[in-house]
Amino acid sequence: MSPKPWRESWTVQDKRVDLAIVGAGFSGPILAAKIAEKGVKPGNGDPLAIALIDAGPYYKGAARPGYGSTLRRQMFTNLEGRHQQAYLWNNDVSLAKIVGGSSLHWAGQAFLPTPVDYLHWQQETGVDWTRDNLLPAVNEIRREFNVHPMPEDVNTPGNRLFFDVASKLGYAPERTVVARRNCVYCGFCVPPMMCKYDSRASTLWTYIPRAERAGVEILADTFVEKILIETTGGGGIARGLVCRTEGSNYQISADKILVCGGYVNTPLLLMRSGYGPDQWRGNPIVVENPNIGKHIDGHPFGPAVSASFDEPLGDGDLGSIVGYHIIDDIRSDGEGRLLIHGNFGVSGLPSRDARHPMAPPFGREHKEFMREQGILRTGSLRLRVTKASGRWAMDPDGKLLYGGDHTLTLRRFREGAEKAREILERMGARRITPPAEVKMTPQTRGEHRVGSCRAGRDPETSVVNPYFESHDVENLLVCDGSVIPRVPSGPSGTPQASITVFAADRIIERHFSR
């Protein structure tokens, strides 16, 4: 019999809490832990009653980085299959339905905010999210997630060759930083794989244990149907939640509601609750804000330039999955920023290695390629325009559509491909694949998306203020990737976690202090 996820024993009935947090992914557990540890009921100073709610299961177990808990070692496998996909929503790693959320599925590449990111956050909507203001929060995430460069002893000869060649060409390659502790370097840190050893940093074994020790009640396998919003003049007031679990519906009354569902699920929940644009699936909107589901920024999917070499670039012994990256700017404001990410001489999931662009297509040659670990003689330079000019927006049916002037983005992808080819040629590549043609259409997909409920000073252009409070609905707060006004230069996990730590202090100061 398969192990069952842990579940607190409680009776399904109407509940009342001081704070209900919807979503236990990257942001929700951080907020739950910090508010429970430091916050109190205003006036009397009593401990807070906090519920942390998630639609997915909770695989409970003490944190043992490098070993993993008994339950998680059984459930989080190194085999790619439908089990891993079961916790994803719409096949999107950033929308995992499981306690721990996308912090279980991410690759652990821990890019922290860059100076340009802080600048863009302030310029976009006027938030005061400066480097100085966020520094304590960034340092906390650096400690809690053990953010550090990959150690040199798991570097590959291919990655070192890339570093030497790129440096001689005038670039400034940096060793990519990761969020891991006691890593065994199995090589399977690729989405949507979850770490069975608890090595890759996750809120499941960093902030969740802190939250529970501080008295937070975790309600797993609980889907929040809607927020109960009453209209008050030109706005509204949030009173509670309608939840569904095991076929039963019940309500939670809460003094404050904090939504942390992610860049898609957060606006969808708000719109289901009657808060959003005036047109959405024909449902009545009782409090209007046209910015909900709009202004979504992210990294459009870009191509990789792959190459094969005569000699192996690694021995396949240790599974370091990240090498070096280059940040290439052409403008002082960072627009059109190009990220070139190199990885050489490493192997990973056989199902993915078999489909590598440099692998023979079929037959005996393909068998030999796999048998002889031909993947170790290959490498790729991944291209990512991290400050693209386009934006996504939800249409009235909840579908994401991409639009904007893509001239600069397409130009930078072309320039990136030329730079990548030059680097690979200097590295001695025997064969180089041309990158796939990049097309920007309304159906263009992306990654690391943010901004669907962005923060800002002006209610006309944003959803929450710089203190994460809704402009329009009293007692309603939002903090997750959806509030970030511009996508950061790299993956959004650690920047989002840093902003969440920053948010916790602001929320405590304004709502949960004496």
pLDDT digits (tens, 9 = 90+) for 314-331: 988 766 567 899 999 999
| pTM over cut 0.85 | yes
Q: Is pLDDT above 80 for 307?
A: yes
Cα separation, 495 vs 124, whole angstroms: 16
CB 294 within 8 A of CB 452: yes
Q: Is pLDDT above 70 for 451?
A: yes
Q: Is pLDDT above 50 for 279?
A: yes
Helices then strands, counting H and E runs in the chain, come out as 13, 22
Q: What is the pLDDT of residue 9?
A: 39
First to last CA, the chain: 50
Angle at which helices 407-426 and 157-168 cross, to 10°? 110
pLDDT digits (tens, 9 = 90+) for 397-416: 888 999 999 999 999 999 99
Handedness of CA 43, 49, 50, 55 (dihedral sign): negative
pLDDT digits (tens, 9 = 90+) for 230-272: 998 889 999 999 999 987 899 999 999 999 999 999 999 999 9
Confidence of residue 6 (pLDDT cuts 50, 70, 90): very low
DSSP 292: T
DSSP helix/strand/coil, 312: coil
Query: How far, in Å, are 89, 197, 207, 464 from residue 62 at the CA level?
Result: 27, 12, 12, 35
CB 204 within 8 A of CB 88: no
Q: What is the pLDDT of residue 82?
A: 66
Within 102-239, residue ranges assigned H as helices are 102-105, 115-125, 131-144, 157-168, 207-213
Confidence of residue 4 (pLDDT cuts 50, 70, 90): very low
Mean pLDDT of 160-168: 97
CA dihedral 201, 202, 203, 207 (to 10 degrees): -30
Q: Is pLDDT above 60 for 10?
A: no
Structure tokens at 407: 């001239």
The percentage of residues in the chain with a pLDDT greater than 90, rounded to a whole number, is: 74
Tell me which range, 152-161, 170-179, 369-378, is most confidently predicted by mean pLDDT: 170-179
The distance from CA 183 to its chain's CA centroid, rounded to whole angstroms, is: 20
397: number of Cβ within 10 Å: 9
